[in-house]
């Protein structure tokens, strides 16, 4: 079946396209992008006033399967991704067991194929069981579909192991996704260190907790030639160090989450664990630098760090609750509200930070609307204003600090491999699950 998307604002960083055009696709492949395509396509989507972007790519999500299915499953996570406009997501390995073997990588790939039409790509652990000691077999993990290696949830604290991992990753040409947090320096901290933490009576997490590992890992990338991707950067000095690394020509990329560019520690006004995540919400000066970085391109992409937790876990006190918030279903709206509407990013740069560049980082041929590429397409109404309602989330995790926030920007269609996996019109919202094969 042919589908024609008519009259949308087509945003394709690969060809630097920002113009009103039509998009024609068939059998999961983009056939043509041009002005006023005349075709007798069976299916026509009116995209007047909408952004038409390459399907969004999130390099950093936690789908919790196997081991923590009470928080999220690959099926529910993929539904949340579809609802959020994402056609590709990279799943972190901090499951139980961790994704540290070929069997586990295959498990994620096979399970994802069974339950969803979006691309769920596994990230493998750097060390067995994410215990920080024995490095996994990067070559085999990559051969079997791992797109990156990461110890996310923590850092590889032993610098010798971290260096050895980067040396091996460089050899195999697999990127290292680094969660930067000095375990000894963080101690018992739960929110940003400073006056606000004192006022709330909580132990603090200094910027230096992140900064010292960002510095170490950039130096180790320089030492080994590894491709290093810095996860969820939250501090102003992280941005400065990434800038320096890029000036030196190192293969260092970095991501920023919507919560870190939207909120500061001042958003924490009560004992509400929906504001607890790692790294924590920082100060305005950090937020300003993160936005600057996203605008200039020093910071390469926006990732959500979608970290669903069960209601009962997040109902605990700020001190006892686990770190993390959901992000897949609020990312588009927060990016439009905080960055595009405020002139920090152009719509074309939004497509770059949320699709094109993430694709480059994992060397995927997606993230573009070029003819012949997979028909992964996200259609967004940038003018639709509404209130975020976490009870509507497809994710099992309702743990968001943004419930009740008025935002602008709504996903209207998510098309993965030519199939509409999500669509919205007023009064009618539809997530289309994978067809169950007939026996
Ligand atoms: O807030 C976070 N939650 N940060 C992490 O690094 C891990 C994540 C999780 O797995 O819940
Ligand atoms: Zn992390
Ligand atoms: Zn994470």
- Backbone φ, ψ for residue 7 (5° rounding): 65, 25
How many Cα atoms are found within 13 Å in the side-chain-facing hemisphere of 23?
A: 36
pLDDT tier for residue 438 given thresholds of 50, 70 and 90: low
**What residues pack around ion ligand 2 (CB closer than 5 A)?**
152, 179
Domain-located, residue 184? yes
Q: From the CB of 152, is ligand 1 less than 6 Å away?
A: yes
**What residues pack around ion ligand 3 (CB closer than 5 A)?**
152, 305
Domain-located, residue 18? no
At 70 the pLDDT is: 98
Domain-located, residue 270? yes
Residues of the chain above pLDDT 90, percent: 98
Q: How many CB atoms lie within 10 A of CB 296?
A: 11
Provide the token pair at 2.
């042919």
User: Which residue segment(s) compose the domain that 190 sits in?
Assistant: 55-361
Residue 254: name the closest of 262, 266, 267, 243 by CA. 243
Mean pLDDT over the full length of the chain: 98
Domain-located, residue 372? no
Atom from ligand 1 closest to the CA of residue 308: 11
> pTM for the complete prediction?
0.98
Q: How far is CA 55 from CA 109, 195, 321, 408, in A?
A: 19, 42, 34, 19
Domain-located, residue 352? yes
The pLDDT of 44-56, averaged and rounded, is 98
Residues of the chain above pLDDT 70, percent: 99
Mutation test of ligand 1: which of 322, 326, 327, 399 has the most ligand atoms closer than 8 Å to its C-beta? 322
The pLDDT of 11-32, averaged and rounded, is 98
pLDDT tier for residue 334 given thresholds of 50, 70 and 90: very high
- Backbone φ, ψ for residue 125 (5° rounding): -70, 150
Provide the CATH number for the domain around residue 221: 3.20.20.140
Q: Rounded to a whole number, what is the distance in angstroms from the first to the last CA of the chain?
A: 24
Chain segment 268-317, per-residue pLDDT in tens? 999 999 999 999 999 999 999 999 999 999 999 999 999 999 999 999 99
Domain-located, residue 291? yes
Residue 52: name the closest of 80, 85, 83, 26 by CA. 85
How many Cα atoms are found within 13 Å in the side-chain-facing hemisphere of 371?
A: 6
> Which residue, judged by its Cα, is nearest atom 6 of ligand 1?
153
Positions at the binding site for Zn(2+):
60, 62, 152, 179, 232, 305
At 435 the pLDDT is: 79
Domain-located, residue 12? no
Chain segment 187-201, per-residue pLDDT in tens? 999 999 999 999 999
Whether the per-residue pLDDT at 439 is higher than 80: the answer is no
Whether the per-residue pLDDT at 350 is higher than 70: the answer is yes
Strands 252-256 and 301-302: parallel
Strands 406-416 and 377-387: antiparallel
> Which residue, judged by its Cα, is nearest atom 5 of ligand 1?
153
pLDDT tier for residue 415 given thresholds of 50, 70 and 90: very high
> Which residue, judged by its Cα, is nearest atom 2 of ligand 1?
324
CB of 95 closer than 8 Å to CB of 122: no
Chain segment 109-152, per-residue pLDDT in tens? 999 999 999 999 999 999 999 999 999 999 999 999 999 999 99
At 372 the pLDDT is: 98
The pLDDT of 91-107, averaged and rounded, is 98
pLDDT tier for residue 373 given thresholds of 50, 70 and 90: very high
Residue 60: nearest ligand to its CA? 3
Q: From the CB of 26, is ligand 1 less than 6 Å away?
A: no
Chain segment 25-39, per-residue pLDDT in tens? 999 999 999 999 999
Chain segment 238-275, per-residue pLDDT in tens? 999 999 999 999 999 999 999 999 999 999 999 999 99
Identify the helix (H) or strand (E) that includes residue 230. Answer: strand 228-230
How many Å lie between the centroid of ligand 1 and the Cα of residue 314?
13
Chain segment 145-173, per-residue pLDDT in tens? 999 999 999 999 999 999 999 999 999 99
Q: Could you identify the residue written with the tokens 């007798």?
A: 40
Domain-located, residue 1? no
How many Å lie between the centroid of ligand 3 and the Cα of residue 258?
13
List residues with catalytic annotation: 305
What's the number of domains the chain is made of? 1
> Which residue, judged by its Cα, is nearest atom 4 of ligand 1?
278
């Amino acid at each position: 079946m042919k589908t024609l998307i008519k009259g949308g604002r087509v945003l394709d960083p690969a060809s630097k396209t920002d113009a009103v055009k039509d998009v024609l696709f068939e059998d999961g492949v983009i056939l043509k992008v041009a002005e006023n395509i005349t075709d007798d396509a069976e299916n026509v989507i009116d995209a007047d006033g909408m952004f038409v972007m390459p399907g969004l790519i999130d390099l950093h999500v936690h789908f919790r399967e196997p081991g923590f299915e009470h928080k999220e499953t690959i099926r529910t996570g993929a539904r949340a991704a579809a609802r959020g406009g994402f056609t590709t997501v990279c799943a972190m390995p901090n499951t139980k067991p961790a994704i540290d073997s070929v069997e586990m990588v295959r498990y994620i790939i096979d399970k994802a194929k069974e339950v969803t039409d979006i691309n769920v790509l596994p990230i493998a652990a750097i060390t067995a069981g994410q215990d920080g000691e024995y490095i996994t077999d990067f070559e085999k993990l990559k051969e079997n579909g791992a797109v990156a290696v990461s110890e996310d949830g923590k850092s590889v604290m032993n610098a010798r192991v971290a260096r050895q991992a980067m040396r091996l990753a460089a050899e195999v040409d697999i990127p290292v996704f680094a969660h930067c947090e000095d375990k000894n320096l963080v101690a018992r901290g739960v929110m940003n260190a400073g006056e606000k933490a004192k006022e709330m009576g909580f132990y603090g997490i200094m910027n230096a907790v992140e900064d010292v590992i960002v510095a170490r890992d950039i130096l180790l990338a320089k030492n080994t030639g590894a491709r290093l991707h810095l996860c969820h950067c939250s501090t102003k000095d992280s941005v400065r160090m990434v800038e320096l690394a890029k000036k030196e020509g190192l293969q260092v990329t970095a991501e920023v989450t919507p919560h870190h560019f939207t909120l500061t520690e001042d958003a924490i006004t009560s004992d509400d664990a929906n504001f607890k995540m790692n790294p924590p919400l920082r100060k305005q000066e950090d937020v300003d630098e993160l936005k600057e970085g996203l605008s200039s391109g020093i910071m390469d992409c926006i990732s959500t760090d979608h970290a669903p937790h069960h209601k009962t876990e997040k109902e605990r006190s700020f001190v006892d609750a686990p770190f993390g918030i959901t992000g897949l279903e609020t990312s588009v709206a927060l990016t439009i509200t905080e960055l595009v509407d405020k002139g920090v990013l152009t719509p074309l740069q939004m497509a770059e930070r949320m699709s094109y560049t993430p694709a480059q980082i994992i060397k995927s041929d997606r993230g573009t609307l070029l003819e012949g590429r997979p028909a992964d397409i996200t259609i967004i109404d940038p003018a639709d204003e509404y209130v975020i309602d976490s009870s509507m989330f497809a994710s099992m995790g309702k743990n968001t600090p943004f419930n009740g926030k008025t935002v602008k920007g709504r996903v209207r269609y998510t098309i993965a491999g030519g199939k509409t996996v999500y669509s919205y019109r007023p009064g009618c919202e539809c997530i289309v699950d994978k067809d169950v094969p007939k026996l």
